[in-house]
Each structure stands twice: as C-alpha cells, then as structure tokens.
Structure 1
Amino acid sequence: MNKDALKWVLIVEDDKRQSESLSKMVQSVAERINVLTAVNHREALEIARREHIDLFFLDIDLEDHENGYELAEHLRKESKYELTWMVFLTINPKYELKAYKKVHCYEYVMKPYKKEYIQTLVERLLFPPNTKVEQSRQSFIMVEIEHLQVKIFVNEIIFVEARGRSVEIVTVRGVYTANYTPLKKIVNLLACETAFIKTHRSFVVNVNYIESIRKVTNKQYEVHFINGGRFALLSVKHKEAIERRLLENNG
C-alpha cells in the first residue's frame, strides 16, 4: 500500500449543512484526501462504482426509500468494498448491533459528533502508523453468532476462550459468543495467522495485545492485555512458547 497515494472518502448525507461541515473536517486531515459527497443511494452507488473509495461515512437517516444501513449492505456486495472501512453517523441507535455484526462497520457515531473525534478517526483509518496493521485488517473469519454469519476481523481479536460447549471471542469491539462451537474450530480458522498462540487448553490469545504475564500459582499464570479488560490463563506447559514469541516480537 502506498501511504502517499490519494485517499478517496465518500460522505453520504442528505443534510447539506452537515455534509459540508463533515467534508471540511475530513479534508482538514491531509491534502491527499479527496472528499466526495452524495445525498441518496443512487448517487452513492454511482460514485462508489466509478471510483475506488477508501472510507465511507454513511448517514443512517437518509430521506429516500432506503436508509444508510441498507446502502451499506448494497456496498458490501461489491467485491471491492467487502472490507472497506465504513462509519455510520446517526441520531438513532436502532441499527447499531446490526451495523457491527452484519455490515461490520468500524464505528457507529451518534450525532452531534466532535471535529477532533472525526479527524482522529480519519487519520487512524486512512493513514495507519504501522503498515502491518493495515495489512492484517484484510484478514477475517466468519463465525455463526445467533444464527447469523458474522465477519470478525482478525486483528481486532484479543483472545478466544472456550466455555463449555461455546466459545467467546473477545475483540476490541466487544464479545461474540458462538454457541455449540469448539475452540478447535476457531483455532483452525486462525491457523494461518501468526499472531495467535495457545496459552491454555481453554485459551488462544493474540500476542499483539499482551501487556503483561502475572504469576498466580506455581503452575498457572494470567495474561493481561493492553485494553485493560479480561485476562486469559497461561499454563506452565505453554509458558515457554509464549515467552519465546514475545521475545521474537520485541526483537
């Protein structure tokens, strides 16, 4: 990826004042951003098919016969937008769960939003400081959650825990519970991802999120993560392997 290349952002917003305001916020981040705008589905799809958009800002509450969420569904069917960043803008929390689980948006922003937040968001998505992170976001796994096939980006997974007949996939967005799914199935889905390592019979962790390892007993340790949330278990059996992996990463 050429980080100096022109970035294309499409804002779909039917309120002219808000569209102009958001355009200025996005454009102020960098000169090499080209901002396009649309007021409805037809215009948005025409632009998206003509250009190659790097980031979408979609207003949920459009006035035409379809809302922004439905537009996102149409865009996801386009092969070139299967993994493109999408940010929803709305005053309505109604579609938030569906937006994350089915369309896999990056953010669901409630109006009114702050200029600094939008600028930080654009900078993070279009100009990531580590190109490895940008590349890893292309990887995802499909997991059945409550009878829906949910796309979960690999670089957002912190760890996976087996709980009885289910697994919990802990991500930066929240926790996904896959019922009647063995841990081995998730391990197989992540088999090609070098960031993941087994730490315990019930845990697989992403080494990129590890903050520290703490001793609990002579035979068991806890793995704590940079997000400060839940921790994973580490058994003596797997301790040497994970310490070696962390040493390789730091080196």
Structure 2
Amino acid sequence: MLTVGIVDDNPLDLDKLELIVGKVATVELQLKANNAEEVYAFIQETPVDLLITDIEMPGMSGYQLADFIHLNNMNTSVIFVTAKSGYAVHAFELNVHDYILKPYNQERLVQSIERFTDKKEAGKITGRLFIRSGGDLVIIPKDEIIFLERTGRTTTIHTTKDVFESYQSLGELEGDIRESMFIRSHRSFLINLQYVKRFTEYSKKSFEVVFEGTSQKALVTKEKLKYLQENYF
C-alpha cells in the first residue's frame, strides 16, 4: 500500500486532492493538511511514500518543503500541483516525481500516482551479482551496488560497503545485473538510480552524477540525462 500526504491552503483544491487520491485503490491517505508547517512536523516522525503539494502557500511554501525532503535524503517523493509554471526547472533539481499545472483533471493525477507506484515496484532490486575478482568469486547483493566504472581493462564496482575490481567487461556485468534501475549512463558507467543524489554539469556533452553512499562520481551523457528526465525523474 502506497502512503500519501496532501497539502494545499485552498480548501476546494485540498478536497479535490482528497477525492481523487481516495479513488486509487493502492493508496492510503495518511495526512491531509492546509499548511506546509504541519506536514513538515508530521513527516519527520512518520514519512510518507508520496507527498502531493501546492507550491505557493502562506508561511512555508511547498518548494521549501520539498527542499527539506531533498536535503535530508528522506524516502519521500513529491508531486507539485500548482497554478505556477515558473518553478518547473527548480523542481527537477529537487528530483520531484511530477509537476502538474492547475487546473488539471482527475485522470492526469491518477496516472501520475500510478506511474509512481509502477516505478516504486520496478525499483525493488533483488538477487546477487557474482563477479570474478583476482582468484576469488565475490558475491555482491545487487541493491548494495551504487555504480560500476570501466577503466582500461578493469571494471570497478562501487558498493555501499566496499569497492571491488574485476576483469569482466562492463557489458558482461550489465547483462548479469538486468535490473530496471541500473542504467548505462555513459560508455564507461553503469549507475543505480536509487543512489543518485543530483546531476552537475561537467562539460557541454555530459554531467557528473553525485551519489548517496560514496564520494566517487560517475558521468552521464546529455542525451541519456534527457531520457532519464522523461522516464524516471
């Protein structure tokens, strides 16, 4: 069951959110609020999977709330539902799930929630990766892998607990992983999207990938980043 919180200072818009969310069978509404301060206090104690929020509200804004979630690496995704289009670029920087402009219809929001649910289910990484490292056969849980990097004849596997090196090619290991959240971001990198924190411009054709769990960075091409924006973020 997907846990959801909704917040909007306009009573009619808030009731509309509640009505639509209530029609999604896989959703449990845990929080309904008319101000971001109440949500801010609530999610620190009881995080929700998905927060649907207006942006411009008295006091703390929805953008400030999403920024708090992002900076604290909370496992809560955000959908902005707003009459203002000017925040769209900044919203991407916060890795929000969706940006919906008012007025919107029921189908638009339901599709967004269902897409988030599908992504969440697809993102459950299971199984283990077997690699040859030196004379050893090393077993690595796939959900601990942050990214893989090919340098010369060596592939380096960066995990949450250790770093391993193997002479197996990046293509060979990519075939062994076969998980939707692992993306070939660059000819030399295979990244796990679950650990991506942000993208920083590196050159005209590529961006650096900053991860949670390691100070090491990967690269993503401009074309692949556009694909990720359209299909994952």
Shift of 1:52: 2.2
2:109 aligned counterpart, secondary structure: helix
1:50 lines up with 2:45 in the alignment:
yes
Aligned to 1:8: 3
Aligned to 1:114: 105
Shift of 1:31: 5.5
1:123 lines up with 2:82 in the alignment:
no
Deviation beyond 2 Å, 4+ runs, structure 1: 75-79, 129-141, 154-162, 176-186, 188-191, 202-206
Alignment of 1:157-236 (within 5 A): 159-160=185-186, 178-180=201-203, 189=217
Shift of 1:156: 9.1
Aligned to 2:90: 98
User: RMSD in angstroms over aligned alpha carbons?
Assistant: 4.4
Go from structure 1 to structure 2 and tell me whether the alpha carbon gap of 1:157 and 1:70 turns closer, same or farther (over 3 Å shift).
farther
Question: Does the 8 A contact of 2:7 with 2:34 survive in 1?
Answer: yes
* Total equivalences in the alignment: 165
Percent identity, aligned pairs only, is 22
Go from structure 1 to structure 2 and tell me whether the alpha carbon gap of 1:190 and 1:9 turns closer, same or farther (over 3 Å shift).
same
Structure 2 unaligned spans of 5+:
126-141, 148-179, 189-198, 210-215
Cα distance in 2, alignment partners of residues 130 and 183 from structure 1: 27
Q: State which of 62, 71, 77 in structure 1 corresponds to 2:71.
A: 77
Question: Does the 8 A contact of 1:160 with 1:204 survive in 2?
Answer: no
Normalised to the residue count of structure 2, the TM-score between the two structures is 0.55
Go from structure 1 to structure 2 and tell me whether the alpha carbon gap of 1:129 and 1:53 turns closer, same or farther (over 3 Å shift).
closer
1:60 lines up with 2:55 in the alignment:
yes
| Matched letter for residue 68 of structure 1 | G
Question: Does the 8 A contact of 1:26 with 1:35 survive in 2?
Answer: no
User: C-alpha offsets along residues 90-134 of structure 1, whole Å, 9 cap, x if unaligned?
Assistant: 111121111111x111111110111011111112213x2783434
| Matched letter for residue 67 of structure 2 | E
1:109 aligned counterpart, secondary structure: strand
| Matched letter for residue 133 of structure 1 | G
Structure 1 unaligned spans of 5+:
1-5, 142-153, 163-175, 197-201, 210-225, 228-251
Aligned to 1:133: 123
Normalised to the residue count of structure 1, the TM-score between the two structures is 0.52
Shift of 1:41: 2.2
Cα distance in 2, alignment partners of residues 36 and 110 from structure 1: 22
Shift of 1:84: 2.3
